[in-house]
Chains A and B, each alone.
Chain A
């Protein structure tokens, strides 16, 4: 067990710090949260700077346009950019963390050449069209249909909660290509151009007041068959690659940010007198333990990934592919999402009654948005199922009809 960084890693950190210090002061002012074109331009502009400096796709394999950095270097990158107050991935999230890695693992050489460079260069934005009104946690129940017409799919249906849909160029879309197959086996993964005729995007307002996601209606949208990543009807496995990326590394910068906020809360409480409240003080102390441990758990998980060869899944093995983060990410996400909510609840108590009810205060907005952490990217209930079934090996619940039968027996037997 070694928590010290090698000379090479420290050198990488030093160079990164230097570069951040030189580039951050020259950034344009941050656009307002509801100015979507402004946000797109800002986020892409930042990605372009990373690209020009050689930091784009740091941990992606070299043949996908990445730098082939080690997980530890990637961790250092996420830590340092957050500490320096650099912009978040923002609108680049799906391209860099979902669609990109999926195409890198599952795409043909042509597909990789077409879609990966624009993501890394900051030219194109992706969104994720997975969830549907009737397919949320039970994602495999999705119904959006795609039927073959020559070398095109004709797609109809609706998607919901699609983040960044309004400003996206591409959508990683899950569609049903074989309605007669068992639900996990009739799904395909398509890259849908967002300017195709037949797509209607209607923004949805979140409880925090901003329009972060949208409904998407698809009416006979034509998508080239060449845009399918993976085999037809093999989209569920392709999707599992995507989701496991999401659960792996998405929160590293946020843990760093939470630790900074915790320090700010203590400073603020000492200033405004709330530090005298022993109950609040102890909650902050407990959060200190929590976020320190979450940081260590992150280092543990990253070190574990060091032993596994970089991204490249064997097609159709279905098992855990090299470099694809395992279910351990669920352990982290469960605890982190809860801790984040506790952090901003504590922030409300530091702010006091009026401050906590004032949405001009950043912490109040953060408190509101923290509610999404136990819902998005697999709810906490689903994460508990994953931990119990995939790590602990507990049995799955029995199919519904059998359960109903058992229930009848139970009622008759009156035990």
Chain B
């Protein structure tokens, strides 16, 4: 047993982080926020070129031939920077939908009650009849609402979404810690006050427990572990984003700060999977 990233996995993660820092920096993020519903096709193709979508395709089929653990690391990075688009659906369509693997075609799929990015996508995988647009709370994710009944999402889709949640939870913890170390009140950094310090510590604890659950689920692909990962990662992403707002004070309540984007995206991602009730019931049934 060696439950740690291998050197290759570490290199992959760092490579994706560098790629995203170059291709999707803060300016690109804010541009995306200011142009809701618009998907940057050049970026999408660049992701395709980098192997983002073909990661788990066998090499014989032109893919990178890696597994779920590697995909989880890549999606965690996407979650960190709030990379927009139907990433999970396109990734899972590689190999079945021509052009998905290379980033030439954008693929979306129903996710529970929601259909993200319908209008910007080339292909909808699954039944989207009766989809009605809604005014999405998240400026980075246009949404349609689907009439029932809703097909369950695949375990891979659930896990990759949990990985994005993990990335977001880690990022909001970092943002809160950075702000708490810079902002001064009462003559000292606010991070010296225990009330703030303990919020930050709790954020880290949530993120690290979720990390153990998400990585383990990626290694085992066990449905119960995936359910645990989903529950803990959703909770870490949503609660860390809220605490991050709190640590930022008035600044946290602005459109200008990025924190609200993490919260809204975390809500959307949590909404694409099972409800908390369903996940908890599944975990109870497994006892």
Contact = CB atoms under 8 A, between A and B. Distances in A.
A303 B188 contact: no
A331 B192 contact: no
A387 B205 contact: yes
A394 B181 contact: yes
Interface in B176-218: 177, 180-181, 186-189, 191-194, 197-198, 200-202, 204-205, 208-213, 215-216, 218
B215 A384 contact: no
B286 interface: yes
> Chain A CB within 10 Å — which of B69, B180, B209, B216 has the most?
B209
A392 B178 CA distance: 9
Contacts of B210: 293
A391 interface: yes
A1 B3 contact: yes
Interface stretch (A23-31, A278-286, A363-371): A278-286
Contacts of B1: 2-6, 9, 72, 299, 303
Contacts of B4: 1, 300, 303-304, 306-307
Contact of A306 (B2, B180, B216, B220): B2
A2 B219 contact: yes
A262 interface: yes
Contacts of A394: 177, 180-181, 189, 191-192, 197, 200
B215 A282 contact: no
A389 B286 CA distance: 39
B140 interface: no
Interface SS of chain B: helix, strand, loop or mixed? helix
Interface stretch (B55-63, B83-91, B94-102, B225-233): B225-233
Contact of A262 (B219, B232, B287): B287
A141 interface: no
B197 A384 contact: yes
A265 B215 CA distance: 27
Contact of A3 (B192, B216, B229, B283): B216
Interface residues of A, number: 57
B6 interface: yes
B277 A282 contact: yes
B181 A299 contact: no
B198 A388 contact: yes
Interface stretch (A45-53, A198-206, A310-318, A395-403): A395-403
Interface string B59-96: 00000000001000000000000000000000000000
B284 interface: yes
A391 to B, nearest CB: 6
Nearest to B73: A1
Interface of A: 1-6, 9, 72, 262-263, 265-266, 278, 281-286, 288-290, 292-294, 296-297, 299-300, 302-304, 306-307, 328, 331, 334-335, 381, 383-385, 387-389, 391-398, 402, 406, 409-410
20 contacts: A1-B215, A263-B287, A283-B280, A285-B282, A285-B284, A288-B286, A289-B213, A293-B213, A297-B212, A300-B3, A306-B2, A306-B4, A381-B194, A392-B173, A393-B177, A394-B181, A395-B188, A395-B192, A402-B187, A406-B186
**Chain A to chain B: the 7 pairs with minimum beta-carbon distance, closest first:** A285-B284, A285-B283, A289-B228, A266-B287, A285-B280, A387-B201, A394-B191
Interface of B: 1-6, 9, 69, 173, 177, 180-181, 186-189, 191-194, 197-198, 200-202, 204-205, 208-213, 215-216, 218-220, 224-225, 227-229, 231-232, 277, 279-287
